[in-house]
Structures are given as structure tokens and as C-alpha cells.
Amino acid sequence: MSHWSQISFQDAATPIMTMLIAFHDHAMLVIIMVLTFVSYAMLSLSMNKFTCRNIYEAQAVEAIWTILPAFILLFLALPSLQLLYLTDEIVEPGVTVKAIGHQWYWSYEYTDFCEIEFDSYMMNPNDLEEGHFRLLEVDNRIVLPMNIEVRMLVSAADVIHSWTVPALGVKADAIPGRLNQMSFILQRPGIFYGQCSEICGANHSFMPIAIESVDTTSFIKWINSFENS
């Protein structure tokens, strides 16, 4: 959950988000080093009184400023490609949940458990209780187990939406007639919030997502209570 004046990422709740934050720090380190070197070179040249306007070629220098940036880009590209493939990897998910975007709410289906289905609307600000977040709390949260691979299937019923939860490091477009998928493993209990990240109409800002991460025993109890109700 974001805090007031926060400029960094939310605390990671999945392994993929942890790696995304590490890659961000890795890239920022490279960028700062390059920026520092270029700034120092420009200042040194601007304050240097000794110049030569008669040099027409410098093959060694040209080779250096061609090869060095190539190595720097390779240094950024390799971990980026690794993360790109990891985000698409799905291995024997324990739970599958289908999220369907509507104007302007989400509906969810737990197809592994006797077709559990429900809609999730943003709560009216007048109905919020202490500890709830305005414009982020919903009437029906998604309940998911920790330490189990979860597969999310994402689609839409009307226009294009986007199912996004920053703390989990996941984002998938919900497109009518198309089924996108992604996976994640929740590493800690808690409530994680997200929102629709694709402009989808007048009430686009009022399509929150709330995920409640619980232990496996509590998840099974929730499934049983849902089926018995």
C-alpha cells in the first residue's frame, strides 16, 4: 500500500516484484554512473582552456565510445530479458482465478472450486469502516492462499480494461474476446490494492482491486463457507 509522499515502489509481496525492484536499482545505478561521467566530462571540457580544432579523426576514442555503450546496454538487457521471460512463466498453478472487467466493476470466478463467482464493486465512501481506504476498498475481496502459485486469467465483457496490482508486480490487459494470463506467488499475508490501469470510460477511476492474502487453512475455510452460503 502506498503512503503519503512515497516516491519509491510499494513493498514487494511476490518474488517477481522483488526482482523488479532489484532490476530498477540495478538500472538506476548504471544511469547515475553514466550521468556522472558525462557531466564530469562536459564540465572538464568547458573549463579547459587548451583546445585543438585541427584533429579530424581519433579512431581509438571512437572505438571506445562505441564499444563501451554497447557493453552498458548489454549489462541492462540481460537481466531485463530474464525478468521478461520469468513474468510469462507458469508452472503447475495451485489456484486459478478468472477476472473479468466490466464498466465499472470486476467479476471473479474460482473455477477450481465448484464455480465460485462474485462481483466486486467499489464501496460507497459512506459505508467505509475504520481502516478502510477511500476509492480502494471493495465489497468483495479476492481471497488467495500464500506460498502457492496463483494463475490469473484476465478478460473483459465490454471495453478494454487492465488488471493491475503494484505490490504483486503484475499487470495484464483485459480485452474483450481475448484471454490473457499471468501468475504470482504471495509471500506474506495482508491486503493488497490495485486499480484498473486502462482508461475505460467515465468511471474508470472507480474500479479498485483488493486481494486478501491468507494461509492455506484460512483459504480452505473461506472456500467452504462460500460454497455453503
What's the CATH code of the domain at 125?
2.60.40.420
* End residue of a domain, out of 73, 88, 103: 88
Domain count, the chain: 2
216 and 113 together in one domain: yes
* End residue of a domain, out of 58, 88, 118: 88
CA distances (Å), origin 169, targets 19, 80, 155: 9, 14, 18
83 and 102 together in one domain: no
What is the phi-psi region of residue 177: left when phi exceeds 0, alpha when psi lies from -120 to 50, beta otherwise? left
Q: Does residue 1 form part of some domain?
A: no
pLDDT at 2: 66
pLDDT tens digits, the chain, 229 residues: what are they? 667 777 788 888 999 999 999 999 999 999 999 999 999 988 888 887 777 777 777 788 888 888 988 999 998 999 999 888 888 888 888 899 999 999 999 999 998 877 789 999 999 888 888 888 888 999 999 999 999 999 999 999 999 999 999 999 999 999 999 999 999 999 999 999 999 999 988 999 999 999 999 999 999 998 888 767 6
Burial of 171 (0-12, 13-18, 19+ CB in 10 A): middle
49 and 133 together in one domain: no
141 and 210 together in one domain: yes
Residue the block writes with cell 513493498: 11
147 and 222 together in one domain: yes
**First-to-last CA distance in the chain?**
31
**Cβ count within 10 A of residue 58:** 10
pLDDT at 114: 72
151 and 221 together in one domain: yes
103 and 49 together in one domain: no
44 and 23 together in one domain: yes
Q: Does residue 77 form part of some domain?
A: yes
Concatenated DSSP letters of 79-141: HHHHHHHHHH---S-SEEEEEEEETTEEEEEETTSS-EEEEE-BPPGGGPPTT--TTT-BSS-
Q: Does residue 5 form part of some domain?
A: no
171 and 123 together in one domain: yes
Q: Are strands 95-102 and 149-156 parallel, antiparallel or unpaired?
A: parallel
Domain at 28, CATH number: 1.10.287.90
Q: Does residue 10 form part of some domain?
A: no
pLDDT at 152: 93
19 and 63 together in one domain: yes
Enclosing domain of residue 63: 15-88
Is the link from the previous residue into 106 a cis peptide, with omega within 30 of 0? no
102 and 164 together in one domain: yes
64 and 28 together in one domain: yes
